[in-house]
Amino acid sequence: MKKRILAAVLASASILGAVAGCSSNNATSSTASSSDATSSATDSSKTEDSKTEDSKTEDSSNAGTSDKFTLKEGEGKTLNIAVWNEEFKNYFEKYLQDKMPEGVTVNFKITENKDNAYQNKLDEDLPKNEAASADDKIDMFLFEADYALKYVNSEYTLDVKSLGLTDEDLSGMYQYTKDVCTTQDDAKLLKGVSWQATPGLYAYRRSIAKDVLGTDDPDKVQEALADWTKFDEVAAKAADKGYKMLSGYDDAYRTFSNNVAAPWVNENKEIIIDDNIMKWVDQTKTYTDKGYNNKTSLWSDAWAADQGPEGKVFGFFYSTWGINFTLAGNSLAVKEKDGGKLEVGNGGYGDWAVCYGPQAYFWGGSWLAAAKGTDNATLVGDVMRAFCCNKDFGVQFTKDTQDYYNNEAAMKELAASDFKSAFLGGQNHIALFVETAPKIDMSKISIYDQGLNETFQAKFKEYFDGTVDKDTALKNFYEAAIVKYPELKKPADA
């Protein structure tokens, strides 16, 4: 009997251990079941309310969009929103939750982005959406630039004008955010809207810049990093002082992949590796061999740690959301989930600044789209209008979150104002974004970008690691790419 009790105790201890391991791992790793999502959404919105009391009152006075959304007769009582992380959920709870009509439940269905999991889930759910029961229908979903065309050109997204958005609503937005979501046929329907524009910058650690360059002034640092040759020189100087110029292999990837001459796939369905992407390969190999980077991979723990207070990395290529959402969070000594606050004195918060870097680029961006079959078309339209099409709201939103709002006039207003980012040591980074945002060119995107970018980075990681040579890495890339997209071909001369 004793033995049995012992065995039971040990067994349950091990199971508990496994469960605890899972839950502390990451709350976003599983698709939240609808009831869970609801309760946690309401819970955290409550705590959010108490925390952001001041900004709330400001919101309502400045933005003037405090009126509740309307729930049309016959529309659903459940608003399901498919997303891949918590970013939009947090915004929703802060700015939109209290505008929701009485009795409407909002569910966030989170599926992680890795390995195309989010798209796979959408691809499974969207075709069934019209037939799904009212409470299970996806009403709205988010997508990124890397695979925007796939959904924009499909029949599973709705024209935003059919949701009640007018040309006037859309007039302030950056043109490229609309181009991405315009169908490529003759109808030229707009299928999605975004609250953000995502020009990229180089974010650097002020203290390290001072040590290496003798200054942390953004203009002077920009001068030192104005092109790739200069960038390499600074990398060498930083290495002499024991710093790394970049954290990992993929950090500079977007600056090259955004400046390609042609899309990933040509009209013969052949995969074309652009010369500019091969430049990234050569640069990264050099950096790795010379010890200018820390051999991490994007989104890995080691990469995140390099952005923390103990990090020895000069800087990171990041676009708008990366600075306010990812980098600021990673810079803290006491992380937000452990009760830390986004304030100067907590780790590296305040020790950062941004400059243009060697090349203009963009990275990411999230768009809202209504899913075909939604039973909340009016509500989705209201959410889009309130969140993406309001200049005054945009000014306040950017002040609160330091995200870059998708309204050129609003952002110019902020750029000219005395707006300061505490995280960036008092710099007005919006002024820099205003310069680079109009340069964004999305004419080279294709529906294969997400899968091919991810595969290319993964397969060339082995080349940088030194486990394979360049030709093998290329061969592995083509093979893995064709497994992912069997309709594609390796060009005959490659």
Partner 1 sequence: MAQAANAGNVPVKARKGQIGKYKKWGYIFMLPFILVFLVFQAWPLIQTFYYSMFRYFKSGLSWIGPEFVGFDNFVAIFDMSSGNNILALTWNTLIMWVLGFVPQIIISLLFAYWFTNVRLRLRCLGFFKTVMYMPNLIMASAFAMLIFSIFSDIGPINELIKHTTGGEAFRFLSYTGSTMGLVAFMNFIMWFGNTTILLMAAMMGINESVIEAAEIDGASSSQIFWKITLPLIRPILVYVMITSLIGGLQMFDVPQILTGGQGGPNNTTKTLIMYLNEQIGTSKNYGMAGALSVIIFIVCAALSLVVYYFFAADRSNKKSKKGGK
Handedness of CA 136, 141, 147, 149 (dihedral sign): positive
Phi first, then psi: give them for residue 81, nearest 5 degrees.
-125, 120
**Stretch of 13-21, 90-98, 319-327, 353-361 lying at the interface with partner 1 (CB under 8 A):** 13-21
Kindly write out the interface string for residues 71-110 of this chain, putting x where it contacts partner 1 by CB under 8 A and - elsewhere: ----------------------------------------
Residue closer to partner 1 by CB (options 10, 236) is 10
Q: Exposed (0-12), middle (13-18) or buried (19+): which is 173, by Cβ within 10 Å? A: buried
Looking at beta carbons only, is 238 or 452 nearer to partner 1? 452
User: Who contacts 226 (Cβ-Cβ below 8 Å, separation ≥6)?
Assistant: 358
309-348 mask for partner 1 (x: CB under 8 A)?
Answer: ----------------------------------------
Q: What is the nearest approach in angstroms of partner 1 to the Cβ of residue 173?
A: 26
Shortest distance, position 279 Cβ to partner 1, whole Å: 23
265 contacts: CB under 8 Å, gap ≥ 6: 271, 272, 446, 448, 452, 488
Q: Does 293 bind partner 1 (CB under 8 A)?
A: no
For position 11 contacting partner 1 by CB under 8 A, the verdict is yes
Q: How far does CA 324 lie from the centroid of its chain?
A: 11
Contact 442, 176 (CB under 8 A): yes
Residue from the set 21, 103, 339, 345 that interacts with partner 1 by CB under 8 A: 21
Q: Minimum Å distance from CB 281 to partner 1?
A: 16
**C-alpha pair distances (Å), 439 with each of 19, 45, 213, 443:** 48, 37, 28, 12
7 contacts partner 1 (rule: CB under 8 A): yes
Cα gap 230→385, rounded to integer Å: 44
Site string for partner 1, 445-474 (x = CB under 8 A): --x---x------x--xx--xxxx---x--
Closest CA to 285 of 460, 452, 455, 458: 460
- Cα dihedral sign, 187-193-196-202: negative
Q: Which two tokens stand for residue 414?
A: 């902020």
Among 25, 60, 166, 207, binds partner 1 (CB under 8 A): 25
Closest approach, Cβ 457 to partner 1, in A, equals: 11
Min CB(294)–partner 1 separation in Å: 9
Show Cβ contacts of residue 424 under 8 Å, excluding neighbours closer than 6 positions. Answer: 203, 323, 350, 352, 353, 354
Q: Does 371 bind partner 1 (CB under 8 A)?
A: no
Q: Which of 135, 275, 336, 479 binds partner 1 (CB under 8 A)?
A: 479
Q: Give the shortest CB-351-to-partner 1 separation in angstroms.
A: 21
Give the dihedral of Cα atoms 453, 457, 458, 464; nearest 10 deg: 170
Mask: binding to partner 1, 152-191, rule CB under 8 A, as x and -? --x-x-----------------------------------
In one letter, which amino acid is 376? N
CA pair distance 333, 165, nearest whole angstrom: 43
CB–CB of 314/238 below 8 Å?
yes
User: By the criterion CB under 8 A, which residues form the site for partner 1?
Assistant: 3-4, 6-7, 10-11, 14-15, 17-18, 21-22, 25, 115-116, 119-120, 123, 126-127, 150-151, 154, 156, 295-296, 300-302, 305, 447, 451, 458, 461-462, 465-468, 472, 475-476, 479-480, 483-487
